[in-house]
Structure 1
Amino acid sequence: MSEGKGDRFARAGEFLARRRWWVVILWLLVAGALGAFAGKAQTTLQGAGFDVEGSESQAVAQLLDREFHDSTATSAVVVYTSDGPVTDPAFAKKAAAVDERLRRVPGVAEVRGYATSGNPELVSRDRHTALSTVVLSGGQSAAQNAIPNLRERIADAGIDVKITGFPAVQYDTYQLSQDDLTKTEAITFPVVAVFLLIFFRTVVSALVPLLLGGIAVATATGVLGLLGAQFPISVFALNIGSLIGLGLAIDFCLIMVRRVREERAAGRTASRAVTAMLTTSGRSVLFSGLTLLLSMVLVTVVFRDMMIVRSITFGVALVSAIGLAGAMTLVPALLYLLGDRIERLRVMPAPKPKAPNSGVWYRLSMSVTRRPTGWLLLSVLLLGVLSLPTLHMEFVGANTGALPSSTGSAVGAREVESAFTKNALTPIKITIRSRDRNGAFTPDFLTALRTTTDTLARDPRTEQVASLSTMLGKLPDGAFAKLRKDSFDGAPAARSAPVARLVNLHSRADTATITVVPKAEMYDREHLDYVTDLREHVLPELTGLRGYDVQVGGDAASFVDFETSLYGRFPIVAAVITLAILALLLLFFRSLLLPLKAVVTSVLPLVAAYGALVWVFQDGHGEGVLGFTSQGRLSVITPMIVFTILFALSTDYEVFLLSRVRENFERTGDTERSVALGLQQTAGLITAAAMILIATFGSLAASSVETLKEIGIGLAIGVLLDATIVRLIIVPATMQLARGANWWLPKWLRPILPQLSHEGPSAPRRVDTPEPMESTA
């Protein structure tokens, strides 16, 4: 065990060899302790998070919730439907009884319904549908958790009644995501187990990656469950993070176990083979894992004010960090313990050794490097064609369209849109606030309110407007401007309650609201542009509003804020991640060209994956196969999440391939043969790793939530393109064209960079190492 004492990885290996039992026991204790809290994730995580902390739309939502109990984020909508008129006394009596049941549910602050208030705006024109609004206290998470209790109270109502609204959509998304997690894990583990058996050919060696993956997922789930009780975390962190972490942990283990087998085939003892693995593949795994981890941490920090984005990237970072730590400690300890017993319980015969220049991957590489320009142009052209649909990419936010059509909140939303208007549940909300107490009842304020209301009503983009001005529309302008708050103090509830929904009558009486229902559907560009126009032109240009705090909110405004914030920062995030990856690869390869080439070749499959997503989901060509109804748009978070994960994964494959190419180049000095040998040595491994990731990502296609489908399919397509077109064709072609420039580093930079290359102390090895998957190639 004295070999490699000057190398840190070798010294770490010797330490792990001496403490192998302690390492294994410690990991099992930690995983057991934290995994015991995995069940908490089922109750502490949330279902949405498509808002921006501190944004204008969030400020409006908080103001409406605080002053009017009227925030869509914390108000459920009860939908009553009948073949006859809902105003029929018998039906109205049953509806009133349901409203009364709902009032007694813990967490319900108020119930406003037609059956009890007589508000005609809550009844559809055909009188077959009526609405009640259930105001929930305690914030979005509490509102979401109240939905099961509300639905339980209406189960035996004796009339057709459903619950929808934002809290219901949030709860249904959460519940479906939880069910999807169970479903996808049930698909993933058996499929991955089969892949591992085919690749390793023995049960014991296949169990090591599964053990690491299971420990990583269980531990991360427990941590998320604990943190979810203290901080808002989206359930998507669990769905996406657990599967990505599972795939990565297995991939890391795959590379390390396979290298140990190579070292044993080269004549090393079992313990020295593990040490040699740590100084070579272990180093590559560490740098690859740090690349992904750094990318996730950067995105989490930059988007810390956007709950769903930071949740997903934090979840991926967490499970990746645990998987990487396990790969660098638990896996070597297990390999030291198992020794040659890792070859036990063989299910397939071992492959016969082959000469290094006889494998299919070697021949493919030689074919590419003989005509590098032609192969490169053909590959780039193919990826370019796949990328073309990206040019008409459109986005959509959280809505019932991403859920199965039979989901309760989706059914209720369709009934409301059909009976009332398309945007009845998602209007634009405008708040006008005075600095003075009772400032909403001054002539200037009321005149400005009427002028603004009339201006919005005349706008051709508006379908309906509601405010104190429209409620008292019969009052002449002069009489309306003379309204006083004391006119409503002590008035019967039937007279003051409608006013209190439009002016914060019972607190400072300093704020009025205007509700605007646009004609265009919520995610149509006309609707979104209307929000922007209101903020930037229409309202600022009304002179009567100067001196008042005017803000525009509502679901469409929340989406505009989210999209603008997300993609306004996207170039900065992309640049920072790119620079961080370039720096890490520069340290690893001690080359200027290879890091630049790695970044460029990582972008190509990413953009092609975007094009495929647009074609499959936005254009709807995958509806029948994947079981969804296209919304004509992609989820607004899909491109960002796919970029962050796929960009880092592509760099991982580059590290695994080029570290072998460099080993061969340092031994032979021949670029063409070194690339061919490197491809022969790693293509089977990269293919197996890619197949496992494609299986884990692809399992999200079985999800009921369309956003999860998009992210899973996008990642699977990206990995497929990267592991085939990029690694097998573009990388060999570009390296052959660059030749000696691949390894060039300015002399002045060499002493500055620390020596962190892939190469560790190593005894001579044969190049013609048998590949576990070669016989299946």
Structure 2
Amino acid sequence: MLRTLGILIARHRFTSLLLWALTIAACVATALIGVTGENLFQRLSSAGPTVEGEASQAANLLQGTEGADTESLSLLIHDVDLSAPDLGLILTAATTDLLEVDGVTEVINPLAIPPLPDGSPNPAAMPLLVPDGTGLLLNAQMVAPDGDLSDDLLGEVEERLGVAADEVRQLEPDATVEVGGTPLLVESLVAVAEADLQKGELIALPIALLVMLVIFGGFLAAGIPLIGALASIAGALGALFGFSYLMEIDTTVLNVITVIGLGLSIDYGLLIVSRFREEFRALVERAGDSETRTERHELMLQAVGITADTAGRTVLYSGLTFAIATVGLLVFEPTIIRAIAIGAVSVVLIAILTALVLVPALLGYFGERLLKPGLLTRIPGLGPLLTRFGDVAPREGVFSRLTRRVQRAPVLVALGGIAVLLLLGSPALNINVSSGGADAIPKASTQYGFVTALNDHFPLATAPLVQLVSDTDEASAAALAEEVATLPNVTGTTPPALVNGHWVSRVDVDQNAGPAVVREIRDYRPDFDHWVGGMDAASVDYVDSLVAGAPWAALIIAGATFLLLFLMTGSVVIPLTALVISVISLGASVGILVWGFQEGNLAGLLDFDADTIAGVDPLVLTLVLTFGFGLAMDYEMFLLARIKEHYEAGEATRLAIETGLQSSGRIISSAALIIVIVFAGFATGNLLQMKQIGVALAVAVLLDATLVRTIVVPTVMTSLEKGLWWAPRWLHPIYARFGMRE
């Protein structure tokens, strides 16, 4: 089927490319321009992951009807004299103007709130005032029906607060004056994500092109995988735009899906083009120099068909393995993870289509020219180098020689390689999974100054990290708050306040200690109904939700991968060893993640504040394990396909391992180098989560393509060569009926 499809597409290349061009144009238009007045970036959110748990129950109890459909912006002023008459006039004028804006429901000026009869500050004003009396927040509430705030309303309120901010700066040049709020924060994070996306592509694509120029020796062959990658990105953006109407798409989803699509498309395109040149060259050499132009064209079509039936089959099952790994994410509760799973499956399917449909169509146009030496090979001194590192591997080379060396003592070398991986993974033993990093707001965000000043000077105006919510009398709630105040890492609690019929106390904790405090409070349950809420409590619920779903996800991923590898090899030994080695390799990448971010060793290189990192973000850990496993299986498929091909051609197991690695080693190494560059490019962005994902996946791929794929896998397979292809007798008919063969 794949052979017939490849020849058909190459023969009708004009129609195929025209359909692709129309599809890509439609995807780009819908994503960047939109069809309902909004483009993809305008439909992104940045609400963060949430799950149903005790923290969400506490939030729902405190959420009254008032404010449920409102958003707010604030004017933050610090280091000023609050008694200055001119300051009062500025705030009063701003309040009057804002109340005349259609859609503004309330403006809270703390200076206009009268004190209590005894002269003490009014509790209603305290969250909006700096405790030492040197700053305030002017808060404007706006109508947001169904959580959708009008852009015109937001812009008008922001503009008027900006005018007031300029007036305060003229009055007090040394004051800290910022305008901010959740709507502006979401806008800024989306803008940072978009900038990171562009920056990552600008870094990754030119370097990827340079690497492929070295591999292929010419712009034509190097450009075909890149065209497939760009088509894949366009398709991914179009798919995400469609999914944005079915679920909430976070900024992280966009970057993750784009980088995965870019990496996989280049990998698959590289494999297809390389195999095509190998097969076409072999057909031409067998035919000799006497073929006519028509005969040569037919040979080219046959080479496309053989490529689709060999490398194309490998791409198909590699992509399916990666897709199955991401389908395992659907068992998790958080919407953001499910959105990433659906987006990743979509982009993998698009990457498969570009490799099996778009690339053969391009080969139909340019395939006959790919055997000619590239322009770069004519440059003196450069030609021999490019020929040496070409995409078609010779029968004898560095990988075959390396394999023979390590096969002399396979058990010893395998144990040594595994020991290195375990050493690299040892920091993972001290992993602390936490989503409470305060550095989540990047410095590149226009709201960084506002958020920083708010956290530093207005503790009561920020969302509480830990909060006690009780359904009891005031005395019991006060007693609970006093008891919690004695716990380790708790710096204080506020007296209970009645909110929506429940007594609420704020719990102040040491930096990064909130999750531990939440668990300790929850271990003690008083006689009355009681909930622990706040951002750190929500983080605890989120982590617990992921832990609950992890066994099911692992079972789905491992079971499906085992089945696919069995259908490829007919062995149960090879899938088991592949799963074990992949787990050890992923442990090494997690160890680097802990060492670099939780322990702060990469803070200087990647420009983040290590003191604010409580641990490894659970979303990052989940995606690194899932996508890292999928990528490892990608290269496993690339290698096993060639080993099996040589084994079925009659070579002994040990020789098949050697020749299989020699045949695939260059492409695996080249593909891995490109994908490492892609991930490293996105790791230079500003979003902390993308830094962590980029670094961890770059390390995972680097280790897999070097130590694992060239040392550990060949030596383990050689050590098990006598039983490597074994399977129970009852599985033989299943493999004979459904097994995949090159």
Q: One fold, TM greater than 0.5?
A: yes
Q: 2:55 aligns with which of 51, 54, 57?
A: 57
Task: Indicate whether 1:336 and 2:364 are aligned.
Answer: yes
CA distance in 2, matches of 1:375, 1:144: 64
- The more displaced of 626-635 and 653-662 is 626-635
Mapping 1:139-158, distance limit 5 Å: 142=148, 150-157=157-164, 158=167
Pairwise CA distance, 1:567: 2.4
CA distance in 1, matches of 2:190, 2:712: 41
1:748 alignment partner, SS class: helix
CA deviations 1:193-222 (Å, max 9, x no partner) are 111111111211112111111111112212
Structure 1 residue aligned with 2:173? none
Q: 2:620 aligns with which of 638, 662, 666?
A: 638
TM-score norm. by structure 1 comes to: 0.82
Pairwise CA distance, 1:616: 1.3
Structure 2 residue aligned with 1:351? 387
CA distance in 2, matches of 1:401, 1:329: 43
Kindly indicate whether the alpha-carbon contact (under 8 Å) linking 2:77 and 2:178 is maintained by their aligned counterparts in 1.
yes
CA distance in 1, matches of 2:262, 2:305: 25
Structure 1 residue aligned with 2:711? 729
Change in Cα spacing, 1:151 to 1:646, as seen in structure 2 (3 Å) is same
Kindly indicate whether the alpha-carbon contact (under 8 Å) linking 1:456 and 1:462 is maintained by their aligned counterparts in 2.
no
Q: 2:86 aligns with which of 63, 77, 90?
A: 90
- Counting matched residue pairs gives 686
Mapping 1:279-290, distance limit 5 Å: 279-290=309-320
CA distance in 1, matches of 2:492, 2:180: 22
Task: Indicate whether 1:749 and 2:731 are aligned.
Answer: yes
Q: 1:528 aligns with which of 515, 527, 552?
A: 515
The aligned amino acid for 1:635 is: D
Change in Cα spacing, 1:137 to 1:607, as seen in structure 2 (3 Å) is farther
Kindly indicate whether the alpha-carbon contact (under 8 Å) linking 1:144 and 1:170 is maintained by their aligned counterparts in 2.
no
The aligned amino acid for 2:80 is: D
Task: Indicate whether 1:123 and 2:161 are aligned.
Answer: no
Change in Cα spacing, 1:716 to 1:109, as seen in structure 2 (3 Å) is farther
CA distance in 2, matches of 1:742, 1:75: 64
2:136 alignment partner, SS class: strand
The aligned amino acid for 2:42 is: T
Pairwise CA distance, 1:451: 1.6
CA deviations 1:197-254 (Å, max 9, x no partner) are 1111121111211111111111221222233245311121211111210110111011
Task: Indicate whether 1:79 and 2:76 are aligned.
Answer: yes
Q: 1:411 aligns with which of 441, 446, 449?
A: 449
2:130 alignment partner, SS class: coil
Structure 2 residue aligned with 1:579? 559
CA deviations 1:626-674 (Å, max 9, x no partner) are 1222123222311101011010110110111111111112224322221
Mapping 1:298-697, distance limit 5 Å: 298-299=328-329, 301-303=330-332, 305-343=333-371, 345-348=374-377, 349=383, 351=387, 358-397=396-435, 400-405=438-443, 407-421=445-459, 424-432=462-470, 448-459=473-484, 460=486, 461=490, 463-468=492-497, 502-504=498-500, 511-521=501-511, 523-524=512-513, 527-538=514-525, 541-542=526-527, 545=528, 550-630=530-610, 631-632=612-613, 633-697=615-679
CA deviations 1:331-390 (Å, max 9, x no partner) are 222223333123465322462799955311110010111111221121111111111111
CA distance in 2, matches of 1:139, 1:379: 59
CA distance in 2, matches of 1:408, 1:95: 23
Pairwise CA distance, 1:90: 2.9
Kindly indicate whether the alpha-carbon contact (under 8 Å) linking 1:298 and 1:577 is maintained by their aligned counterparts in 2.
yes
2:494 alignment partner, SS class: strand
Task: Indicate whether 1:710 and 2:708 are aligned.
Answer: no
Structure 2 residue aligned with 1:69? 67
1:742 alignment partner, SS class: coil
Kindly indicate whether the alpha-carbon contact (under 8 Å) linking 2:192 and 2:686 is maintained by their aligned counterparts in 1.
yes
Change in Cα spacing, 1:285 to 1:313, as seen in structure 2 (3 Å) is same
CA distance in 1, matches of 2:103, 2:198: 30
Structure 2 residue aligned with 1:42? 41
1:79 alignment partner, SS class: strand
RMSD: 2.8
Structure 1 unaligned regions, length at least 5: 1-7, 434-444, 469-501, 505-510, 761-777
Structure 2 unaligned regions, length at least 5: 33-38, 115-123, 169-175, 285-298, 378-382
The aligned amino acid for 2:634 is: D
CA distance in 2, matches of 1:392, 1:109: 50
CA distance in 2, matches of 1:144, 1:457: 44
Task: Indicate whether 1:240 and 2:256 are aligned.
Answer: yes
- The more displaced of 344-353 and 14-23 is 344-353
Kindly indicate whether the alpha-carbon contact (under 8 Å) linking 1:49 and 1:308 is maintained by their aligned counterparts in 2.
yes
The aligned amino acid for 1:453 is: A
Pairwise CA distance, 1:26: 1.4
Kindly indicate whether the alpha-carbon contact (under 8 Å) linking 2:565 and 2:575 is maintained by their aligned counterparts in 1.
yes
CA deviations 1:666-694 (Å, max 9, x no partner) are 22432222111111111110011001100
CA distance in 1, matches of 2:224, 2:568: 27
CA distance in 1, matches of 2:674, 2:462: 45
Change in Cα spacing, 1:203 to 1:430, as seen in structure 2 (3 Å) is same
1:397 alignment partner, SS class: coil
1:558 alignment partner, SS class: helix
